[in-house]
Chains A and B, each alone.
Chain A
Amino acid sequence: MEEKNYFEGLFCGIKSLCTGLKITMREFFTKKITQQYPENRKELQMFDRFRGALVMPHNEANEHKCIGCGLCQMACPNGSIKVTSEFYETEDGKKKKRLVKYEYDLGCCMFCMLCTRACPQDAIEFDQSFENAVFDRSKLIQVLNKEGSKVAEK
C-alpha cells in the first residue's frame, strides 16, 4: 500500500468492518426463518405441482382409469415403470386388454413427467408426498393398482 494511503486505508478498512458488524448485529435480533420440520408437519403443505411419487388414483368403487396400454412404460427414460396387462374376452366375444399389475420403481424415477404426459387416460399423476425414505431399497418398488381394482367404465 502507498505510504500516503496508509491511514486512509486503515480507517476505510475499520469503517467497512464496522458496517459488517452492524448488519450482523441487526440480524441477531430479527426473527429467524428456520422452519421446524417434524413439528410443522400439520401445516406443511407442498405446492400442488410438487412431484412426490407416482400414484394411480382410485375412486370409491376401487376403480382406476388405466387401460394398460403401456405408453407410460415406453415414455420412461429410466425404465422405472413396468405395466403387465392381459387380454380377456368380454361377454359379447370381443378381445380386450386390461391391467394386471402396474409396477413403479420410485428409486429410479427421475420425475420428468413424461409418463403422465404420455397417458391418454390421465390415469396416473404425481402426488405431493415427500417423506419417501424407506429402510430397504426393495420397498421403493411399488404396485400402483390396488388389490382387486378394475378399470372404470366410461
Chain B
Amino acid sequence: METTETKTQVQAAAPATPKPAAVKPAPKPAAPTAPAENEVKPIEVEPSALRKEMERLKAEDMDFLECLTGVDWMEEGLGCIYTLTSTSTGKVVHVKTATLDRENPLLPSVSDLWAVANIYEREVFDFYGIRFTGHPDMRRVFLREDWVGYPFRKDDETEKNNPLRMTNEPLADDTEELVLNADGTVTSKRNTIFADGDYVVNIGPQHPSTHGVLHFRVALEGETIKKIDPILGYIHRGIEKIDESLTYPQTLALTDRMDYLGAMQNRHALCMCIEKALGVEVSDRVKVIRTMMDELQRIDSHILFFSCLAQDLGATTAFLYGFRDREKILDIFEETCGGRLILNYNTIGGVMHDLHPNFVPRVKELIPYLRNSLKELHALFTGNVIFQNRAKGVGVLTKEQAISYGCTGGTGRAAGWHNDLRKTRPYAAYDRVKFNEVVREGGDSFDRYMIRMDEILESLSILEQLVDNIPEGSIQEKMKPIIKVPEGTYYSAVEGSRGIFGVMLISKGDKSPYRLHYRSTGLPLVAAMDTLCSGSMLADLITIGGTVDYIVPDVDR
C-alpha cells in the first residue's frame, strides 16, 4: 500500500481525466498493487504553512473549493482535506493538513479566499472541534449550541455527554471570531449577527416554503431583507457518523435518504467511489442503466422543482400538473427498483435488479409525453407575466460569486459557470451520448428556473439515445462476501440533480469506512442565501429559495 506521507504533487487521476469507454475484462478482483484511479494523494501541509499554500493555490487559479472534509486521524492528528478545483483547466488538487493538538486545535481559516469555506469550516468545527483563526462566525452549524463535545472525533463520548435535552435550543445573537495576532497569540472577539434593534422574523423551521425543516432568521427593514442567518441541523441524522460503523453495502442504504430527489445519483456516487477504490469495473450494461436512471431521477427532480416553485409562488394548479407528470417517472422507478422515493437500486458492482421488461416501452412512452406536457407547463407558468416579473432580476448571483460559494448545478450554470461534471469529468455512459450543457448568463431566478426546464429536455434526449442501445451484459459483478476497501483516501463525484455530489472515502482497510464524507449539493446553496437575498424583498426569499433548489435532508445529512 502506498502511504500518503510523501509530499508529492500528485493529483487525483480519476476526477480529472475522463475514463475511456473501452470495456475491460469484466470480473476483475481488487488489485492492491495498482493504485485505484480515484485514489487521492493530497499535498500535505503543516497548519502553519497552510495559509500561504492556499493563497498560492488560489492565485494559481484553483478558484473552486469543491469539498472540505474534516478527519480525525487519531495519531496523525485532527485536520482537514481540502479539495480544490480549477474551473478553467479542470485540474483537481487535494490538500491535507492536520494538527496534533487535540485540546485546542487551531487551523487558519480560508473563508476569505473561498466564501463557501465559511460554512464548511463551521461544519468541521461542529464535528471535530477544530477552530479556525480568522473565521468571522465560529458557531456550530448542525448541532445545538449547547452540545457538549465533538461527536465525529473517534474518542468522543457523545451519548454520555449529551442526554436528551428538553429545553429549547438557545440561539445566540452574536458569535466568536478568533484573531491570530502577528506574534502568534490568539485572541477572541465577539461579532454581532443581529443587533438589538433588528426586526428578526423566523422563516422556519416549520414553514410551508422552506422545503423541509430549514430555519432562516431574517432581519427585515420593512419588507426588505437586511440579513439572513440560516440555522441548520433540524434533520441532521449524522449519516456520515453512522456510516463509520456500517459495512460498505450497508452504507448504501442511507444515501437515498439524503437528497431524496437525487437518490440515484447519490448512490451512484458512493458505488462508483467504492468500485473504483476496489478496482472493480462494472459492465457496460450497468453503466448505461445507471446513466438512464440518473437522468430519470434528474427529470423527476426538476419537475418537482417546477412544482414546488409554482406552489411557493401561489400557482397551486401548476404544482399539481407537475406532480401529475412526475407520477409517470415514479411508476417507471417503482416497476424496476421497487421504490418510488427510496429507490435502493445501485449496488457495489452493479444494480439490484435487471431492468423490468416494461422499462423500455414505458420510457419510450414517457419521452413524447413529457415533451408535450412541458409545453403546457411553459405556457401556463413560464410565460406568465406575473411569474416573469417575480423571477427576472431577482436574486442575481454572479459567476464569481457562484464559484466562490461553490454553487454547482443549475444555480452555477445559470450564472454562466460551466460546471456540469457529465461534461467536464464524464463517468458512466455520459461520454457516449450527445447532449448540451445548458448554461445561461443572467444568474437570476428566472435563469435558474429555465436551466432546469431546459435540462429536462436534454435529459430526455439522453434517454432517447440510450433507450434503444442498452447493451447486454451482467448486471452485477461478483463481489466478495465481505467488502474491504484497501487503505487509502478516495474521492468520486457525480453530477447530482442539483450540483456536484462528491464522496470522500477514507479507508483503513476495514470492512467499514474510516471516514465517509459527502459533498452535499445543498449546503453551499444555503450558505449563499444571505448574499442572494440581501436587499431583496421578503417575497423574493421564497422565489430565490425555490429556484436555488436546496433539499434540506441533503444539507443536513
Q: Once the chains are docked, how many angstroms separate the CA of A93 from the CA of B36? A: 51
Q: Tell me, yes or no, whether B356 is within 8 Å of chain A by CB.
A: yes
Main secondary structure of the interface of B (DSSP, over half): helix
Q: Tell me, yes or no, whether A61 is within 8 Å of chain B by CB.
A: no
- Which one, A15-23, A94-102, A135-143, is touching chain B? A15-23
- Which one, A44-52, A82-90, A145-153, is touching chain B? A44-52
- Given A19-B383, A23-B380, A51-B339, residue A114 in contact with residue B334 (CB < 8 A): no
Q: Once the chains are docked, how many angstroms separate the CA of A12 from the CA of B386? A: 11
Q: Once the chains are docked, how many angstroms separate the CA of A125 from the CA of B201? A: 51
Q: Tell me, yes or no, whether B252 is within 8 Å of chain A by CB.
A: yes
Q: Tell me, yes or no, whether B235 is within 8 Å of chain A by CB.
A: no
Q: Tell me, yes or no, whether A112 is within 8 Å of chain B by CB.
A: yes
Contact with A along B366-400 (1 / 0, CB 8 A): 00000000001001110111101000000000000
Q: Which of A12, A23, A50, A77 contacts B334 (CB 8 A)?
A: A50
Whether the pair B383, A77 counts as a contact (CB closer than 8 A) is: no
- Given A16-B385, A20-B384, residue A113 in contact with residue B335 (CB < 8 A): no
Whether the pair A24, B339 counts as a contact (CB closer than 8 A) is: no
Q: Tell me, yes or no, whether B474 is within 8 Å of chain A by CB.
A: no
Distance from B313 Cβ to chain A, minimum over Cβ atoms (Å): 13
Q: Which of B253, B334, B383 contacts A47 (CB 8 A)?
A: B334
- Given A17-B384, A19-B379, A19-B383, residue A112 in contact with residue B334 (CB < 8 A): no
Q: Tell me, yes or no, whether B48 is within 8 Å of chain A by CB.
A: no
Q: Once the chains are docked, how many angstroms separate the CA of A24 from the CA of B379? A: 10
Whether the pair A24, B253 counts as a contact (CB closer than 8 A) is: no
Q: Which residue of A lies closest to B383 (CB)?
A: A16
Q: Once the chains are docked, how many angstroms separate the CA of A110 from the CA of B253? A: 8
Q: Once the chains are docked, how many angstroms separate the CA of A81 from the CA of B249? A: 17
Q: Which residue of A lies closest to B257 (CB)?
A: A110
Q: Tell me, yes or no, whether B321 is within 8 Å of chain A by CB.
A: yes
Q: How many residues of A are counted as interface, with CB atoms below 8 angstroms from the partner's CB atoms?
A: 24
Q: Tell me, yes or no, whether B19 is within 8 Å of chain A by CB.
A: no
Whether the pair A20, B246 counts as a contact (CB closer than 8 A) is: no
Q: Once the chains are docked, how many angstroms separate the CA of A86 from the CA of B321? A: 57
Main secondary structure of the interface of A (DSSP, over half): helix
Q: Once the chains are docked, how many angstroms separate the CA of A111 from the CA of B246? A: 16
Distance from B373 Cβ to chain A, minimum over Cβ atoms (Å): 11
Q: Once the chains are docked, how many angstroms separate the CA of A19 from the CA of B384? A: 8
**Residues on the A chain within 8 Å of B379, using CB:** 19-20, 23
Whether the pair B384, A16 counts as a contact (CB closer than 8 A) is: yes
**Residues on the B chain within 8 Å of A13, using CB:** 385
Distance from B257 Cβ to chain A, minimum over Cβ atoms (Å): 8
- Given A47-B335, A47-B338, residue A114 in contact with residue B380 (CB < 8 A): no
Whether the pair B353, A49 counts as a contact (CB closer than 8 A) is: yes
**Residues on the B chain within 8 Å of A9, using CB:** 385
Whether the pair A126, B376 counts as a contact (CB closer than 8 A) is: no
B residues 416-444 near A (Cβ < 8 Å) are none
Whether the pair A20, B253 counts as a contact (CB closer than 8 A) is: no
Whether the pair B253, A49 counts as a contact (CB closer than 8 A) is: no
Q: Tell me, yes or no, whether B324 is within 8 Å of chain A by CB.
A: yes
Whether the pair A113, B385 counts as a contact (CB closer than 8 A) is: no
Whether the pair B324, A113 counts as a contact (CB closer than 8 A) is: no
Q: Tell me, yes or no, whether B191 is within 8 Å of chain A by CB.
A: no
Whether the pair A49, B384 counts as a contact (CB closer than 8 A) is: no
**Residues on the A chain within 8 Å of B352, using CB:** 113
Whether the pair A49, B337 counts as a contact (CB closer than 8 A) is: yes
Whether the pair B385, A23 counts as a contact (CB closer than 8 A) is: no
Q: Tell me, yes or no, whether A92 is within 8 Å of chain B by CB.
A: no
B residues 314-334 near A (Cβ < 8 Å) are 317, 321, 324, 327, 334
Q: Which residue of B lies closest to A13 (CB)?
A: B385
Q: Tell me, yes or no, whether B492 is within 8 Å of chain A by CB.
A: no
Contact with B along A1-33 (1 / 0, CB 8 A): 000000001001110110110011001000001
User: What are 22 residue pairs bridging A and B, where the CB atoms are less than 8 Å apart in the complex?
Assistant: A9-B385, A12-B385, A13-B385, A14-B385, A17-B386, A19-B383, A19-B384, A47-B334, A49-B336, A49-B338, A49-B353, A50-B338, A50-B339, A75-B250, A77-B246, A77-B250, A77-B253, A112-B253, A113-B338, A113-B352, A114-B250, A114-B253
A-B contacts besides A50-B338, A75-B250, A113-B338, 13 pairs, CB < 8 Å: A9-B385, A12-B385, A20-B381, A20-B383, A23-B379, A27-B321, A49-B336, A50-B334, A77-B246, A77-B250, A110-B253, A111-B344, A113-B352
The 7 closest A-B pairs by CB, nearest first: A13-B385, A49-B338, A112-B253, A77-B250, A16-B383, A47-B335, A23-B380
